[in-house]
């Protein structure tokens, strides 16, 4: 009888261990299933969120296409050049006590400051104190008209005399000297509040005279800077003044049979 009880006890132990292993495996599978369900639910939520985002982007894209189509179908805004030039003529004429001439060339309005008042020191691009005073006054007027559509262009000019002193400073010729003088004006205007990235320069040397170079008075008129204000298109300005062979004085004339390209308001 004792042997039978012992045998029964030994046979029960494996059964007990077998049941425990099965329960543990079952619980593990349940945990995995529960985790899979949670992950599936999370993916479903993320998928819905992304779907809403895609739909929003589609609507935004459609709106942008409609706006672009509308913008392309509307007539482009144009600048009334004549009105702008009339306004600038009035502005640039304010407070001018003979320090500059108001000029219009093509679709650009500007001022001409010549060397009768001594713009630069001889053979140099250094501004005189008088020139700085004039440019300070002019900068205040230019600021009144500067906006998103306007730019400033500074043209430098010389007479026909060959350079001498300037060669010692590395200047190559009159074109080089005129460009350096225009740069000096540009840099000064920039210190007075005109945005430097809206000011451009050109150097013409002796090749764009407004008078013959036959006498000192005319030469002083050719040594000049011209400061134009206009739109990007407007600053592609005019034709070269009439040949100096047809000039007998400092007066500006047009080529024979052509309409004047430039008008000058003497102050």
Q: List the 101-105 sheet strands across, edge first.
A: 199-203, 151-157, 224-230, 108-114, 101-105, 262-265
Query: What mean pLDDT value characterizes the chain?
Result: 77
Q: Are 160 and 111 in contact (CB under 8 A)?
A: no
Among 76-90, 127-141, 205-219, the minimum mean pLDDT is found in 76-90
Q: Tell me, what's the pLDDT at 238?
A: 61
pLDDT higher than 80, residue 110: yes
- Lowest pLDDT segment from 17-21, 40-44, 129-133, 196-200: 17-21
Whether the per-residue pLDDT at 23 is higher than 80: the answer is no
Two tokens at 248?
A: 């007998």
CA dist., res. 99 & res. 221, Å (int): 13
Q: What's the rounded Cα separation, in Å, for the pair 150 and 130?
A: 27
47-51, 52-56, 140-144, 172-176: range with highest mean pLDDT: 172-176
Please check the confidence at residue 232 and state whether its pLDDT lies above 50. Answer: yes
At 35, the pLDDT band (50, 70, 90 cuts) reads: confident
Report the 10 Å Cβ neighbour count for 37: 10
Q: How far is CA 90 from CA 27, 94, 154, in A?
A: 93, 7, 20
Rounded to an integer, what distance in angstroms lies between the CA atom of residue 207 and that of residue 159? 9
Q: Considering only residues 115 and 18, tell me which one the structure prediction assigns the higher pLDDT.
A: 115
163-204 confidence digits (pLDDT tens)? 877 777 788 899 999 999 999 999 999 999 999 989 999 999
Give exposure, 140-158, as e/b (b: 16+ Cβ within 10 Å): ebbeebbeeebbbbbbbbb
Q: How high is the pLDDT of residue 254?
A: 33
| Res 240: pLDDT | 58
Q: Average pLDDT in the 32-59 region?
A: 85
Report residue 253 as tokens. 């004339």
Task: Indicate if the pLDDT at residue 132 is higher than 60.
Answer: yes
Is residue 17's pLDDT more than 70? no
Residue 123 · residue 243 · CB < 8 Å: no
Q: Which of 10-24, 158-172, 221-235 has the lowest mean pLDDT?
A: 10-24
Flag the least confident range among 33-42, 89-98, 210-219.
89-98
pLDDT reported for residue 226 = 94
pLDDT band at 141 (very low <50, low <70, confident <90, very high): confident
Over range 38-43, report the average pLDDT: 84
pLDDT tens, 235-256?
A: 876 665 554 444 434 334 333 3
Q: Which of 79, 212, 192 is nearest to 144 (CA)?
A: 192
């Amino acid at each position: 009888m004792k042997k039978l009880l012992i045998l029964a006890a030994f046979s029960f132990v494996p059964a007990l261990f077998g049941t425990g292993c099965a329960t543990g495996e079952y619980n593990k599978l349940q945990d995995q299933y529960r985790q899979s369900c949670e992950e599936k639910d999370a993916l479903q939520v993320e998928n819905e969120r992304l779907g809403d985002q895609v739909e929003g982007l589609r609507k935004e894209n459609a709106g942008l296409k409609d706006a672009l189509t509308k913008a392309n179908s509307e007539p482009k805004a144009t600048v009334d050049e004549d009105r702008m030039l009339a306004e600038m003529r009035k502005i640039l004429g304010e407070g001018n006590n003979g320090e500059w001439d108001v000029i219009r060339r093509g679709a650009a309005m500007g001022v001409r400051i010549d060397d009768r008042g001594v713009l630069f020191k001889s053979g140099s691009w250094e501004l005189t104190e008088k020139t700085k005073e004039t440019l300070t006054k002019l900068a205040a007027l230019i600021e009144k008209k500067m906006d998103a559509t306007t730019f400033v262009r500074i043209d430098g000019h010389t007479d026909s005399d060959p350079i001498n002193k300037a060669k010692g400073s590395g200047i190559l010729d009159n074109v080089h000297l005129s460009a350096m003088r225009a740069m000096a004006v540009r840099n000064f205007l920039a210190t007075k509040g005109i945005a430097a990235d809206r000011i451009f320069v050109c150097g013409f040397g002796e090749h764009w005279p407004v008078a013959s170079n036959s006498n000192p008075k005319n030469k002083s008129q050719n040594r000049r800077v011209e400061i134009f204000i206009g739109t990007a298109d407007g600053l592609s300005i005019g034709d070269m003044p009439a040949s100096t062979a047809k000039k007998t004085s400092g007066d500006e004339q047009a080529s024979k049979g052509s309409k004047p390209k430039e008008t000058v308001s003497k102050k």
